[in-house]
């Protein structure tokens, strides 16, 4: 199939025109999508009305899907797909309690694993008529814009990532017993992309305890300085969803955050793809 890659934003994002995930994907098509993924970090394929089995088959062309850790959010038909919908995430078990949106603060998926997620796929099953965008930060650009003295300070440092991190900026839901001391990992703050060789600032503000070997106070001071630099709109691409969009993004060089600015139902099906460890 003849494909056109159309950029969507200056910092990230490209739409792939002419791609139909219901059809078989040959090697050339997969290579074209992968090239766009590496060049633009976020790729969007519009109007993909596919079932779960086909969604998983497509995902396997770009990485190895892995099971969702939290059973509560797993799709009832397969734990390889999770459902993102605030109706499934409430303040208490009372179905009338306040629904809570997930992922509204800047983060990168599953950094607390020794082998973090390479990529995330979202399929827009139902979107609100207004709001519910997803924002992305290009962490390559964040790194490249850092002053040289900051790069030298940060280059040898490693961040401690933990599911139950000390530093969290969103509400912490009640956790199961096996999550209390959940997975944790130590990763370089400056990450070299394993496919492109480009450097980026690798952090996950909502899942970082601090800097390996540093006190909490010293860690907080540096991480807040890095966050102030990173959280600038000049590094941002904002994706405005259309019905049945499939989005694939690179967790190795992006952070993302969902907007909680809508009143209607927003339902996404998520698949996480494994990748190599960043060191």
191 DSSP β-pair partners: 200
pTM reported for the whole predicted model: 0.91
Angle at 202 between CA 120 and CA 108, to 5 degrees: 30
Determine the Cα–Cα distance for residues 6 and 3; give it in Å rounded to an integer.
10
Percent of the residues in the chain that have a pLDDT greater than 70, as a whole number: 89
Structure tokens at 172: 């912490």
Rg of the chain in Å (alpha carbons): 18
Per-residue pLDDT tens over the stretch 73-92:
899 999 999 999 987 765 55
Structure tokens at 95: 């179905």
Over residues 111-128, the mean pLDDT reads 95
Q: How confident is the model at residue 97, as a pLDDT?
A: 62
Is the confidence at residue 105, as pLDDT, over 70? yes
Contact 107, 231 (CB under 8 A): no
Per-residue pLDDT tens over the stretch 4-54:
999 999 999 999 999 999 999 999 999 999 999 999 999 999 999 999 999
Determine the Cα–Cα distance for residues 51 and 34; give it in Å rounded to an integer.
22
Q: How confident is the model at residue 206, as a pLDDT?
A: 85
Positive or negative torsion for Cα 163, 164, 166, 171: positive
Contact 129, 173 (CB under 8 A): no
DSSP labels for 157-175? -EEEEETT-SB--SPPPP-
Over residues 101-118, the mean pLDDT reads 90
Determine the Cα–Cα distance for residues 75 and 82; give it in Å rounded to an integer.
5
Over residues 254-261, the mean pLDDT reads 96
**In the CATH scheme, what is the code of domain 4-274?**
3.60.130.10
Percent of the residues in the chain that have a pLDDT greater than 90, as a whole number: 77
CA-to-CA separations, 18 to 1, 21, 144, in angstroms, rounded: 7, 10, 34
Of 32, 73, 110, 112, nearest in space to 269 by CA: 73
Is the confidence at residue 176, as pLDDT, over 60? no
Per-residue pLDDT tens over the stretch 137-172:
999 999 999 999 999 999 999 999 998 888 876 644
CA-to-CA separations, 129 to 9, 18, 46, in angstroms, rounded: 22, 25, 17
Structure tokens at 191: 């990450």
Determine the Cα–Cα distance for residues 222 and 155; give it in Å rounded to an integer.
13
Q: How confident is the model at residue 91, as a pLDDT?
A: 54
């Amino acid at each position: 199939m003849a494909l056109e890659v159309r950029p969507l934003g200056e910092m990230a994002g490209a739409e792939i025109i002419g791609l139909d995930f219901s059809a078989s994907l040959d090697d050339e098509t997969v290579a074209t999508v992968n090239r766009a993924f590496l060049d633009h970090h976020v790729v969007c394929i519009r109007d993909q009305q596919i079932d779960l089995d086909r969604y998983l088959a497509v995902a396997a062309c770009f990485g190895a899907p892995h099971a969702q850790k939290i059973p509560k959010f797993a799709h009832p038909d397969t734990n390889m797909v999770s459902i993102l919908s605030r109706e499934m995430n409430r303040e208490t078990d009372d179905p009338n309690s306040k629904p809570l949106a997930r992922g509204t603060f800047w983060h990168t998926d599953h950094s607390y694993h020794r082998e973090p997620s390479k990529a995330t796929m979202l399929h827009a099953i139902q979107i609100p008529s207004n709001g519910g965008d997803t924002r992305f930060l290009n962490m390559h650009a964040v790194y490249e814009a850092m002053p040289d003295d900051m790069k030298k300070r940060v280059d040898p440092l490693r961040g401690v990532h933990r599911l139950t991190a000390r530093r969290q900026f969103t509400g912490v839901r009640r956790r199961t017993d096996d999550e209390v001391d959940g997975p944790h990992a130590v990763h370089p703050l400056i990450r070299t992309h394993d496919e492109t060789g480009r450097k980026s600032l690798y952090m996950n503000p909502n899942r970082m305890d601090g800097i390996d070997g540093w006190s909490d106070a010293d860690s907080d001071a540096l991480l807040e300085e890095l966050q102030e630099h990173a959280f600038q709109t000049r590094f941002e691409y904002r994706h405005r969803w259309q019905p049945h969009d499939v989005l694939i993004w690179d967790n190795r060089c992006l952070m993302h955050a969902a907007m909680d600015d809508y009143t209607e139902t927003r339902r996404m099906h998520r698949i996480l793809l494994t990748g190599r460890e960043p060191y």
